Structure formats: structure tokens, C-alpha cells
Amino acid sequence: MTMVAPVEIVLVYQSLLGIYGDRGNATVLAKRLQWRGYETTVTVVEPGDALPDTGQVYLLGGGEDAAQISAVDALRADGGLHRAVDRGAAVFAVCAGYQIIGYSFTVGERDEEIEGLGLLDVTTTRGPVRAVGEILTRWHGREGDDALLTGFENHGGYTTLGPSATPLARVEVGVGNAADGTEGAIDGSVIGTYPHGPVLARNPALADHVLQLALGEELAPLPRPEIDELRRQRLAAVLKRKG
């Protein structure tokens, strides 16, 4: 009998990038794999621990400005996220995590510019108003209900994409990247996006897309009526906001 190694999901720096509940993205990915018969393991890494070189998907979440600076310093010193991307692993980064994996971001009152990890061709600066509230976007290249992505955004940074990054989606309600009506960015197996929620619980097709990038294989559809119902409720809530 051949033993297949469990799919390793790496949850990066919850103590710094965990205040918005984005660790739920790890639970969602693990569950969706388990429901399909895969073995999974979730590795939680804190600053000071080395990032494993064995992960198939690395998850970063949202955080406060100061925590975000500590996280980028520790990740730069570690180097493991760059090695993961070079290996073709998937990176899914939310909000502060998204800003960190770009080329630079500014924080705080002084608009101090901090160098990012440069894994995604984006730069983030402070916007005139903080983006707070439900967000609805339309995923580029997708059709039907799966194309509608919902979440909750809460960020002061506005993000500009460079030529090597493609927007993930177009904003229908909310702010997203801000300047040009786009939301999030993708380059190969690296995805950055603003919504919390956790966003992969609200958008199972996006969760499966991350898994397909990580595994390099198509996944069979997974009908779950309770998730359809959650989606229906969240879409209704955000469309109510749109009025």
C-alpha cells in the first residue's frame, strides 16, 4: 500500500496576523480536503519558529499596523515564504497579509514606508478614509454564482497593482484595492485579497481554487447545502447594503 503524505496547510503568525479570525481559512481548506478523502495537517507557525519547507499552502491573515511590521521583518529573516513560492506552493494572504507580500506598504500617522516581501507586484499607501464594511466583488474569469465573492473589509491601506499582478476581482459594493475599482491580486500561485469573513468560508469556489493551485490537480465538486445557505444569507446582507 502506498502512503500519501498529508496535505500541509501552514498558518503563519497567528499572534501577529490573527485578529480578524482569518485562521478560519485554514479550517475551511482542511475540511474541504478531508470531505474529499485527503489527509491534512495544519501547521501553526509563530515568529521565531522556522516556516516549514513542506507546506502546499501558506495562509496569512489580517493584523494591526505594528504587528504587520513585526510580521514582515520576521518573514523576511525567515525566507521560507519565498522558497515556498519558488517550489510552486500556494500563498493566500488577507488584508495585512496581502499588504506584506507586496513590494511596500505605509503605516501609521507618519506614512512610514515599509518594504514588503515582493511576492506580489503591488504597493499599498494610506487612503483618505478607512474602508470598513461588507464587500461584494465579481471574480475575474468566473461565471455564475461562484463569481460573486463576499466578505468584510477593514483597512486603511489602498493598494495599486503593478504590471505582473492581475486583479482578483472587480468591486461591486465596498472599496477593495480602492483606486481603480479592482479587488485583490494574483500572480501564479500567490493570491492577495482584502476580505475577512473568513473569506474562504463564504466563498467555497475560491477555497477550491486555492487548493487546486496548491495541489496542481482538479478537485471534484462538493455539494454542501449548508454552505449554499450561508452564501445566500451573506449575499443578501451585502446586497441590502447596496440598496
Binding-site residues sit at 130
Would you count residue 157 as binding ligand GLN (CB under 6 A)?
Answer: yes
Four-residue CA torsion sign, 210, 212, 216, 222: positive
Of 48-56, 141-149, 155-163, 216-224, which part binds ligand GLN (CB under 6 A)?
155-163
- Of these, 18, 63, 151, 192, which contacts ligand GLN (CB under 6 A)? 63
Match 506598504 to its residue by C-alpha cell.
105
Residue nearest to ligand GLN (CB): 62
Distances from the Cα of 105 to the Cα of 61, 87, 165, angstroms = 16, 26, 16
Would you count residue 70 as binding ligand GLN (CB under 6 A)?
Answer: no
Q: For residue 95, indicate whether it is catalytic.
A: yes
Instruction: Return the half-sphere exposure (C-beta side, CA atoms, 13 A cut-off) of residue 72.
Output: 26
- Of these, 27, 41, 154, 212, which contacts ligand GLN (CB under 6 A)? 154
Of 46-54, 57-65, 203-211, 213-221, which part binds ligand GLN (CB under 6 A)?
57-65
The distance in angstroms from the start CA to the end CA of the chain is 57
Output the smallest distance, CB 92 to ligand GLN, in A. Answer: 14
How many residues at the interface with ligand GLN, by CB under 6 A?
12
Among candidate residues 184, 136, 144, the one with its CA nearest the CA of residue 160: 184
Question: Amino acid letter at 168?
Answer: L
Dihedral angle, C-alpha 212, 214, 217, 222, nearest 10 °: -40
Would you count residue 134 as binding ligand GLN (CB under 6 A)?
Answer: no
- Of these, 7, 10, 11, 20, which contacts ligand GLN (CB under 6 A)? 20
Binding mask 88-107 for ligand GLN (x = CB under 6 A): -------xx-----------
Please state whether beta strands 90-94 and 112-115 pair in parallel, antiparallel, or not at all (unpaired).
unpaired
| Helices first, then strands: H and E counts in the chain | 8, 12
- Which of the residues 95, 140, 155, 209 is marked catalytic? 95
Q: For residue 140, indicate whether it is catalytic.
A: no
Match 489602498 to its residue by C-alpha cell.
158
Which residue numbers belong to the known binding site for substrate? 130
Q: Which residues bind ligand GLN (CB under 6 A)?
A: 20, 62-65, 68, 95-96, 154-157
